[in-house]
Structure 1
Amino acid sequence: MTAENNTGAPFSPIENQVMTALEKVIDPELGLDLVNLGLIYDVEVDPKGSCTVTMTLTTMGCPLTDYLNNDINRAILSVDGVKECKINLTFEPPWNVDMVSRYAKIALGIHG
């Protein structure tokens, strides 16, 4: 799976593995993973194994930021070849329900 909001080059195999790992990170409030919620904007893994994830949150000041950061780091560092994880948190563009995957919309009961 690739991030729908990724504006860079196509993902490498290791970046796709990172995206797959991030599908296991569940937002505890919504009960869905960060990828399907559209919160992951981009993933870059350099040749030295440093991974940078550009992402957002559903709201500024989310009380679960530390919890999510820990789960994100754990998931990303579980990918063979990734040695370091950096999280680039952004609120541009702001997250909205249009960024949610079809699967997540069905799970959340969003129609339209």
Structure 2
Amino acid sequence: MQDQIEGKPLIKPSSTDHPLYPQIVEACRTVFDPEIPVNIYDLGLVYTIEIGADSEVDVTMTLTAPGCPVAGEMPGWVAEAIEPLPGVKHVDVHMTFDPPWGMDMMSDEARLELGFM
């Protein structure tokens, strides 16, 4: 799914081997874009989940469109979903629009739910 330019991924890889990673993904799945009835993780809005040595979590995400009405609130919703998890020390959520979100970033489950499959 990740496009590459000269061998460098456009989206930084996540810390998938960290024991907190599955719980953080599930926490992200509790956050929904209010305009689309699918969670932000399955929509493909969460680009990277980085978990540091001290269990500090850095999330890089996007929105379906730069003018999304919840642009200012979404990072807080994501942080609030992740921070209560046992073992998480601190959460930072960063927005990016590079690369821009596209429907090809959605999971198969999201495509099915929205009738694209």
Which stretch of structure 1 is more off in the superposition, 58-67 or 95-104? 58-67
Q: Taking structure 1 as the reference length, what is the TM-score of the superposition? A: 0.86
Give the gaps of 5 or more residues in structure 2.
3-10
Give the gaps of 5 or more residues in structure 1.
none
Change (3 A) 1:83 1:58: same
Q: Secondary structure at the match of 1:82?
A: coil
Distance 1:53 1:7 in 2: 11
* Runs of 4+ deviating beyond 6 Å: none
Q: Percent identity?
A: 34
Compare CA radii of gyration and give the structure with the larger one.
Answer: 2
Q: Secondary structure at the match of 1:35?
A: helix
Distance 1:45 1:9 in 2: 8
Q: Secondary structure at the match of 2:60?
A: strand
Amino acid at match of 1:15: Y
C-alpha root-mean-square deviation of aligned residues, in Å?
A: 1.7
1:13-52 correspondence to structure 2 within 5 Å: 13-52=19-58
Q: Which residue of 1 aligns with 2:76?
A: 70
Give the paired residue count.
108
Distance 1:28 1:83 in 2: 28
Deviations 1:13-38 (A, max 9, x none): 21221111101111111011011000
